[in-house]
Amino acid sequence: MSGTDFLSEATAELYGSDPEGFTERRAALAARARAAGDRPAAKEITGLRKPTRPAWMINQLVRADPGVAARLTGLGDELRAAAAALDGAKIRELSQARRRLIDTLIRQALHQAGEHSPSAALREDLTATFGAALADPQVARELGAGTLLRPVHRADFSAGMSGLALVPPPADATASPAPPGNAPEADSAEGGGRADGGGVSEPAREGRAAARAKAAGQTRAPRAMKATQEAGVAGASRAAELARAARAAEEARAGQEARAGQEARAAKDARAAREAKAAEERRRAIAEAEQVLAGATRAADQAAQAERDGRDHVQALESQLDEARRRLTEARRRVRETQNAQQRARRALSRLTPARRDRG
C-alpha cells in the first residue's frame, strides 16, 4: 500500500467515524503506516485534526448524501444571479427556498447524529455553516469533501429589500368668505294729496312728508348695510378659524407620524446595534473557544505522542532488563557449577593425599 493509500484510508476512516475515538484510532493508523515503512504518511496521518461535534455532523451528512454540496452551490449561484439582476421577486422566491433548504439540511444532520434536543449554539453553528456554503462556492467545496474541522461563520446573503414609507403632506385648507347678503330694500312713503286745515298748503305738506321719508330711508340703509357687512366678516373669520384649525390638526398629525417614524427607526437601529454587538461578542467567544480547543488538542496530541514515545522507551528498557536478568541468571548458574567442580576436585585431592604419604 502506498503513502497516498495510507493517508486516504486514514482520512476516510477518521472523519467518517465517531470523534470520541479519533485520537486513539489516529495513533493506530499512524503506527500502521510507520510499521509499513512509510514514515511520511505516518507523519501526515498524525497531523490530521479532530473535528468539532457540529463539523463531524456535517461530515456525516455529506458522506451519507453526496448531493448536499451540489444543492448548496446551485442555489447559491441562483441567488447571486438574482441579486446582480436586482430581481426583487426572484430574490424573495430564492430566499424562501434558501430557508427551506437550510432547515431541511439541519433536520437531516440532527436526525442522522441522533441529536433529539440540540442546543441553540449547535443549531447556530449548523445554520452559519450551510449559509456560508450558499454564499461562498469554496466553502461548499470544502464542505463536500467531508473533512470539515469546525463550523464556518462567514458573511451570508442578505436578500431582503428595504421598504419605503411615504408620509403624505398636509392638505391646504382654504376658505372663501361667504358673499355678503343683499341690503334690505329701502322703505318708501307716499304722501297724501289732501290739504289740512293748518294753513299749510297741500304742496308744502307733501314736500315735508317726502323729506321725512327720504331721511328715514337714508338712516335705515346704512344700518342694513353695516349689519350685512358684520355678518359677512363674522362668517369669513369663522371659516378662516376652521381652516387654521384643520391645518394645525393636519400638521400635528404629520408631526406625530414623523416622530413615531423617527422613534421606530431609532428603536430599530438600536436593536440592530445590540444584535450586531451580541453577534460580534458571540463570534469572538467562539473564536477564543476554538483557539483554546485547538491549543488543548495540540497539547493532547503532544502528550499522547510523548506517552507513546515513553511507552516505547520503557518497553525497550524492559527488554534490555530482561536480557540482563537472563545473563545474570546464566552467570550465577556457571558460578555454582564451577564451585561444585572446585569442591569435587578438593575432595578428590584430599582422598589422594594420604596415599602419597604411605608410599613415601
**What tens digit of pLDDT does each residue of 12-48 get?**
888 888 888 899 999 999 999 899 888 998 999 999 9
What ranges do the domains of the chain cover? 3-160
Number of H helices, E strands in the chain: 9, 0
Q: Which amino acid is at 316?
A: A
* Contact of 156 with 98, CB cutoff 8 Å: no
DSSP secondary structure, 276-308, as one string: HHHHHHHHHHHHHHHHHHHHHHHHHHHHHHHHH
113-123: b or e for each residue (b if 16 or more CB lie within 10 Å)? bebeebeeebe
Sign of CA pseudo-dihedral 305, 310, 313, 319: negative
What is the residue-level pLDDT of the chain in tens, covering all 360 positions? 555 688 888 888 888 888 888 999 999 999 998 998 889 989 999 999 999 999 999 999 999 999 999 999 999 999 999 999 999 899 999 999 999 999 999 999 999 989 889 999 999 999 999 999 999 999 999 999 999 999 998 755 543 333 323 333 444 444 444 444 444 444 433 444 444 444 445 555 656 666 665 565 555 555 555 554 555 545 555 556 666 777 777 777 777 877 877 787 877 887 887 887 877 887 776 577 677 677 677 777 777 787 887 787 777 778 787 888 888 888 899 899 999 999 999 989 888 886 655 555
pLDDT of residue 150: 93
Report pLDDT for 61.
95
Query: Would you state the pLDDT for residue 335?
Result: 92
Which residues does 72 contact at the CB level (< 8 Å), separation at least 6? Answer: 101, 130, 133, 134, 140, 143
Tell me the per-residue pLDDT of 93-149, one tens digit each, with 9 for 90 and over: 999 999 999 999 999 999 998 988 999 999 999 999 999 999 999 999 999 999 999
Q: Is the dihedral of CA 119, 120, 123, 125 positive or negative?
A: negative
Cell numbers representing residue 210 in the block? 317726502
Among candidate residues 192, 189, 185, the one with its CA nearest the CA of residue 211: 189
Which of 52, 36, 34 has its CA nearest to residue 44?
34
Our CA dihedral for 82, 86, 89, 95, rounded to 10 degrees, sits at 50
Tally the residues of the chain. 360
Which letter does DSSP use for residue 47 in this model?
A: T
